[in-house]
Amino acid sequence: MQVNRLALIVSAVVLAACSGGDATKDSTAAATPTDTTKAPAAGTPTGAPATGTAAYAAPTGQTHEVKMYGDEKGYRFEPADITVKAGDGIKFVMVNGGPHNVAFDPATIPADSKDQLNANMQQAMSELSSPMLMNPNEAYVISFTNVKPGKYPYHCTPHLAMNMRGTITVQ
């Protein structure tokens, strides 16, 4: 009886080893990531739509800060209207009431500035639209390097109906 039991156990172990195929191949395949995309080079926007020929241009001047709110006073950017110089950056900081983002209506952006502005919006969700900022103190920087002077109206997509908008004037 003990010989039969031992034979049964050995058979079960051998059968299990043989039926699973190459165990190292299966475990390696499960652990190997299937995403084969390469990380972008430093300074290259990730997720930005490839709509033009402009390349990301980092801010070379001052970085200004605009806070994003949604509270008892309403949904707003502070300051909503801001003037920057070409080469400056704007750091948008989510304070509360999110999610918030920064978006430009492509119809309001001059054609000769659209590609550069879009390229300067790293990790864009879509054309001229930043990712959503979900948590307090999350920040998003838009560079205005190589962006032509002019007025650039912007808004928060989730709160556009609540008039969360502003204007960036580039000098």
pLDDT in tens, 81-139: 999 999 999 999 999 999 999 999 999 999 999 999 999 999 999 999 999 999 999 99
More confident residue, 79 or 36: 79
Least confident piece of the model among 16-20, 39-43, 154-158, 165-169: 39-43
pLDDT in tens, 20-49: 444 444 433 333 333 333 333 334 344 444
Domains in the chain: ranges and CATH: 63-170 (2.60.40.420)
> How far is the CA of 154 from the CAs of 25, 77, 111, 123, 144, in angstroms?
52, 10, 16, 17, 14
Strand-by-strand arrangement of the 81-84 sheet: 81-84, 165-170, 150-155
Q: What is the pLDDT of residue 52?
A: 67
